[in-house]
């Protein structure tokens, strides 16, 4: 909630150079694609757990890896979005 409020009231100080802005936007785009892919993988593992209960422990381990990476990537996405407010 605080992040959304901060994004709404933030006044840009134009501290980012155009090169830095372009680099951050490219990183943001790449991270967003990775997040989408990992979310699809997590959904796939959820269905596999239901379909194949014998190997569910294996699927849960893989799903945990993906969810941990998702958390890190989403945190980085938020950091980049906040930095890009200053473009």
pLDDT value for 1: 59
pLDDT tens for 5-27 read: 566 655 666 777 889 889 999 99
List C-alpha distances in Å: 23 to 17, 45, 80: 10, 33, 10
The pTM assigned to this predicted structure is 0.77
Mean pLDDT, rounded, of the chain: 88
What are the chain's domains? 16-84 (1.10.287)
Length of the chain: 87
């Amino acid at each position: 909630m605080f992040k959304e409020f901060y994004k709404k009231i933030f006044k840009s100080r134009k501290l980012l150079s155009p090169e830095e802005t372009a680099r951050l936007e490219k990183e943001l785009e790449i991270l967003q694609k990775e997040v989408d892919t990992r979310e699809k993988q997590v959904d796939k593992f959820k269905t596999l757990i239901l379909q194949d209960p014998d190997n569910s422990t294996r699927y849960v381990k893989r799903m945990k890896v993906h969810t941990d990476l998702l958390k890190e990537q989403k945190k980085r996405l938020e950091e980049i979005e906040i930095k890009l407010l200053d473009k």
